[in-house]
Structure 1
């Protein structure tokens, strides 16, 4: 208790008395300086504590400073000498104060005489914490030659202009045309250069002063005025604050210390100061040039009428940029003006006092003019040598090591992608990041196109890049630099023909970095999100906005650089097979000829409240030209109604399609690439089946990836396409039959590409093909110039077989996962948590079933790699299907054995079956994996003869009834398999694929096919489960 009482007493003593003293003593001999005298130890009224109670987190001393006139509060410490783990904390006294910075000084971080970081508030609290241990245990390291503790002898609360003798000649002329820095973010180069400009707060014996300075060179030097910093004492007591600017153009930062930034240093080393030329060069203890960039001096002098701009902190305000005058752009108006000195550069841009060492930048070179207005041009060297080395000149020779990376930026209808190029640099060095993309060259009023990167593709972009450092532990990204257009004289070494190609040359520390690449106008926030709004700067030849644009990044450095490409590049098209050249202005552009066409059948159905929408997912393996013809509308408006697709039924729709990038499960408006309704160029095209302009048509180049084609009927909104149902005009319009509203309409979507697409059918088709296509239009049906002969038909059916095998394998895996979950719930319901669980009893059989089903993928791969379709693939598919069916039946048998082992009653019906000995597998085949004849009847039975309560246990067929089954594992397994898995689509496709192989099969082969066909018709008749399963896709 003695130690705790001492801490509380010290706290009370330290906080109560100073209040009155700090509130009243606000006058001093120098402006903005207030004398004080408090502290701990070293002769202060409060002795240094000998030991503390480690369980109490409260400070052992606290002192509040309040001054209603303060712009800020910066405390002056003297005799600061604390043990390593003891520390002082400074923060705003009011918990609701906008100033949230908390400053901490540990004993091993500061010592002696220094000023604290300025806190922008009128009241602060100084708190002292100690973790000093009991002397019997051990003491913390401390300078034993000095007394232990600290003293505060004053604080600063106001800053004033740092003026020289000619500052009265510097003023705003007319209306102040300088603006908040954020107003010029669209002037990317100027704004990025302004990041190197800092607000300085300098504490001198005569008061505190605001100045402007900026990073010069790549080694962490800062240049400002001699009348700001002229001695090492000034440099040692200067605070350097970067990015002190408003977040938006509308933010008002027009006050001293307005719009606080990041205070990155509180002292510097003076390199050289020259009173005649009024400049001072200092070096920070931390090199910030890699974070904020840096500026360089230009060799040649200013040029008359040259456009200039001035980033500045006028009067200590938040950062402004002066770029315009009352009548136009800021320019150099004279090279021979007198006044402060002879042969001065004159300009008309608004600056104020305290805008010390104005940064006058050329808009052309983005370098600093060596002849600054109101200061004598530095045409002669300083009379004395600098005490330490000045910044070295920036490297002029291109670094030796180069890494080249290709990528493609892609756009949807609403967003443009952002590529990430991650790279590591193994040692400190300058790194050059150079983009090559623009292929348009305009001169003399005409534009020509050049294949700058030699990839035989005319997709390009007007680029932007953003460079970030990456924390490898957290993945956090910290912005370093952004560039849109390259400056004159740089960025052309890679073959660039346009300034629109982005370029950066920055000094970097060894570490991990990320370069974001996208279209012009990219912001750092968009780069972090990895997408930007749809850009009009992603182009192809002279055709305007494109869905893709290629670029090449060259990383050059003297250090070793390892980079990871974004894997977005569509690849060179120079070796495209039988290439087309679709763009007259870009004859170098090549696209492989279309070689495959796949027809996908589907049916759009009208219900009472909505009209259905179909999804057709497909995967593009490599860059291709893609076309889609939707053949459905049954009239050409001239000759009447026709059976367009040979379905022997008048059932059609006025189609609408949407094309999305991505899988069907993740569609959003941001994924939309294209859409189609009426085909405005219908009469110009050669069609497969379509006879009406109402059938939509798409043609576009697609990079590799997953896509989803959405098919519906007019009107189909984007929202309804994503929702997968149309709720507009449900009772009217199409689907139609011979001009009258009907319940369904069929379509054939014909997808063509230069390479094989992996397509998944929507499984919605409810029609049938007729043997003779009555009234089918006599349009030639061709695939890429070849007739739809027997061989091509077979290839399409085997493609469908491959897809069906993969889909069935996926369905089996999903079903078994669901079964596993259902068994866990069954065990929980019956209190089987550790032993004798149904889940563990069936585990090995479920694993075997999963392995057997996964063999379908192996057969699918075999079909994919086969040179041509063959009967061996058909037999392999049939064998693996039969093995899967057997594995699923074993699950039911194992489940029945588990029930018997646990004495589960199977009801009267089950008992009779057991006595009579009916083959349960045979019965299950009537209503299981290959279809069910009485599924609807079974599900509708209730009461004593069926299910007393369908949802009693959360499973449709698990409960009740004298003749029904009890809550058994067998019934659970049967219902789960029946409701979630079917082999009938695969069985049907196996038969169809076998029949497509040869028109001259042997008698035996035809007999086998006939038998299988009969079986399939029985299994998949309209009254059986699985009738609406997947149908084959064909050209």
Structure 2
């Protein structure tokens, strides 16, 4: 069991979104030598930001002699999402199981167990150890699971004896707002008054910042908590923090939701967005070093429409303007553009160990967010620590380790494209 897993089990079972509470140390000047060994801000160990829980179930959907569909509804009043785990799905050719929102806004379709044999038309899925798979999550408090048969089955009893149908053994649900507030009693890394606004609020006044934010996704980690991830370069590569993705199992258990943005400024009306699952873990650096995870996703073509980000290879400079898009507090994407008092977010501490410091507002769920330079709209840091000042790994250091795995030049896709 990893150090993070032991900590979570001891403190808040099933809570996973990682952030850091307030730190008191001031910036430390950079010393010569290897960057990963240089002086770091004195920050406490990561603290989980509880976002959801896993619940046991024992529900079966079987073929029927009287109907072409069999249906069950999983409802958790007030929950922010429901994510269904199937112990088994065995269907006749052409039949399918769907997991949908009541309105039909989201529908995930499976023609069998994709971990046994993936078929054309199967939606993305995640894996959480053991047998079976989890459907992609449904936003909101209700998931409707339906077995669709091409015909009424007079031999339904025989099919049941042979193990045909679908069995749900568990599901994940997102906390209600009251539960989330109780589990996370104070905001972390909001430096004064929270100045973040929905990305849509900046569509007209800051069109480039808005456009760059579209390549940023909300990560649902193992069905239990949220971080932020984003596309990097022209190929199928994404970045987040290593403390949001410690290993291959975390990647297989994660989904990434693009375009989870409010339709109107302050409207609390996000769309369903586009959800994809993790494919291949390419490179890691632990929290004690640079705290990044580079990976690819499945169904890459579906997210290319949201654009991508590129990395600055230079060092940050004091006073330069920055901004941070991300999914703090598990909410639809917001932009941190101004500091307390209304001035632009700027770099306050260009270099402290491997980090750069700033007073832009962030919170639990912002882990993994890109910190972009206002001058170039390229990523200059990878946000990972709170404390006011908040801290991001200087992306110039990350670039040195991943440059051979990404395409950091706009418009020049190459052989490093990974299938998905």
Which residue of structure 1 lines up, in the alignment, with residue 194 of structure 2? 176
| Alpha carbons 2:79, 2:175 under 8 Å: kept | no
- Is 2:283 aligned against 1:283? no
Question: Which residue number corresponds to residue 80 of structure 2?
Answer: 71
Checking the alignment, whether the CA contact within 8 Å between 2:147 and 2:165 is kept in structure 1 is no
Which residue of structure 2 aligns with residue 324 of structure 1?
Answer: 338
1:278–1:375: 8 Å Cα contact kept in structure 2?
Answer: no
- Using the alignment, how far apart are the partners of 1:347 and 1:76 within structure 2? 40
Structure 1 segment 262-281 matched on structure 2, within 5 A: 262-275=273-286, 276-281=289-294
User: 2:258·2:275 contact (CA, 8 Å) conserved in 1?
Assistant: yes
Give the drift of 1:354: 1.4
Cα drift, residue 320 of structure 1: 0.7
1:83 equivalent in alignment to 2:92: yes
Q: Does 1:392 align with 2:410?
A: no
Q: How far off its partner does 1:370 sit?
A: 4.4
Structure 1 residues 549-588: Cα deviation after superposition (integer angstroms, max 9, x where no partner): xxxxxxxxxxxxxxxxxxxxxxxxxxxxxxxxxxxxxxxx
SS at match of 1:374: strand
**Structure 1 position 79, deviation (Å):** 2.2
Which structure has the bigger radius of gyration? 1
Q: Which residue of 1 aligns with 2:320?
A: 306
Q: Which has the higher contact order (CA 8 A, sep 6+)?
A: 2
1:171: Cα distance to partner? 1.1
Q: 1:237 aligns with which of 239, 253, 257?
A: 253
CA distance in 2, matches of 1:159, 1:232: 26
More strand by share: 2
1:106 aligns with 2:125: no
Contact 1:159 1:209 in 2 (8 A): no
**1:36 maps to 2:57:** yes
1:70: how far off?
2.1
- The Cα of 1:318 is off from its aligned counterpart by 0.8
Per the normalisation by structure 2, the TM-score is 0.68
- Counterpart residue number, 1:377: 394
Q: 1:133 to 1:124 in 2, by over 3 A?
A: closer
Structure 1: runs of 5 or more not aligned: 1-27, 41-45, 137-145, 163-167, 254-258, 400-427, 430-506, 508-1035
Cα distance in structure 1, aligned partners of 2:144 and 2:153: 28
Deviations 1:321-375 (A, max 9, x none): 11111231111112244xxxx2631212111121011211011111111475624
Residues 248, 68 of structure 1: CA spacing in aligned structure 2 closer, same or farther, 3 A cutoff? closer
Shift of 1:133: 9.3
> Is 1:129 equivalent to 2:148 in the alignment?
yes
RMSD (Å), alpha carbons: 3.6
Equivalent pair of 1:36/1:155 in contact (CA under 8 Å): yes
Q: Provide the rounded CA distance (Å) in 1 between the counterparts of 2:357 and 2:333.
A: 23
Distance 2:189 2:381 in 1: 21
Matched-pair contact (CA < 8 Å) for 2:259–2:274: no
Q: Which residue of 2 aligns with 1:751?
A: none
Whether contact under 8 Å (1:311, 1:359) holds in the other structure is yes
Question: Do the aligned residues in 1 keep the contact of 2:227 with 2:367 (CA within 8 Å)?
Answer: yes
**Greater mean deviation of Cα atoms: 301-310 or 374-383:** 374-383
Aligned-partner Cα distance in 2 for 1:273–1:224: 10
Q: Judging changes above 3 Å, is the alpha-carbon distance between structure 1 residues 169 and 305 closer, same or farther for their aligned structure 2 residues?
A: farther
State the distance in 2 between where 1:329 and 1:323 align. Answer: 6
Contact 2:310 2:379 in 1 (8 A): yes
- Cα 1:29–1:379 shift into 2, 3 Å: closer
**Structure 1 residues 323 and 202, CA gap change in structure 2 (3 angstroms):** same
SS of 1:315's equivalent in the other structure is helix
Q: Give 1:243 shift.
A: 1.4
Shift in alpha-carbon separation, 1:226–1:290, aligned structure 2, 3 A: same
Q: Secondary structure at the match of 2:200?
A: helix
Distance 1:123 1:248, change over 3 A: closer
Match in the other structure for 1:195: 214
Q: Structure 2: state its 5+ residue gaps.
A: 1-11, 15-51, 113-118, 126-130, 156-161, 181-185, 384-389
Shift of 1:305: 1.1
Task: Decide whether aligned partners of structure 1 residues 263 and 343 sit closer, same or farther in structure 2, where only a CA change above 3 A counts.
Answer: closer
Partner of 1:981: none
SS in 2 for 1:84: coil
Cα separation, 2, equivalents of 1:295 and 1:393: 8
Matched residue SS, 1:79: strand
Task: State the Cα distance separating 1:131 from its structure 2 match.
Answer: 2.2
Cα distance in 2 for partners of 1:291, 1:363 equals 23
Change (3 A) 1:191 1:121: closer
What is the match of residue 678 of structure 1?
A: none
Sort the Cα spacing of 1:375 and 1:349 in 2 relative to 1 into closer, same or farther, 3 A.
Answer: closer
Shift of 1:123: 3.1
Residues of 2 paired with 1:227 and 1:371: CA distance? 12
CA distance in 2 between partners of 1:393 and 1:362 (Å): 16
Q: Residues 345-494 of structure 1: matches in 2 within 5 Å?
A: 345-370=356-381, 374-377=391-394, 390-394=405-409
Q: How many aligned residue pairs are there?
A: 329
Are the aligned partners of 1:274 and 1:382 in contact in 2 as well (CA < 8 Å)? no
TM-score w.r.t. the length of structure 1 is 0.29
| SS of residue paired to 1:361 | strand
| 8 A Cα contact 2:321 2:374, kept in partner | yes
Tell me which residue corresponds to 1:455. Answer: none
Structure having the higher helix fraction is 1
1:105, 1:68 → 2: CA distance? 26
- Change in Cα spacing, 1:264 to 1:355, as seen in structure 2 (3 Å) is same
Give the CA deviation at 1:88. Answer: 1.1
SS of structure 1 residue aligned to 2:280: strand
For 2:135 and 2:245, how far apart are their aligned partners in 1? Answer: 19
What is the aligned partner in structure 2 of residue 158 from structure 1? 174
| Shift in CA distance, 157/133, structure 1 to aligned 2, threshold 3 Å | closer
* Contact 1:74/1:155 (8 A) holds in 2: yes
8 Å CA contact 1:90–1:125 kept in 2: the answer is yes
Change (3 A) 1:173 1:106: same
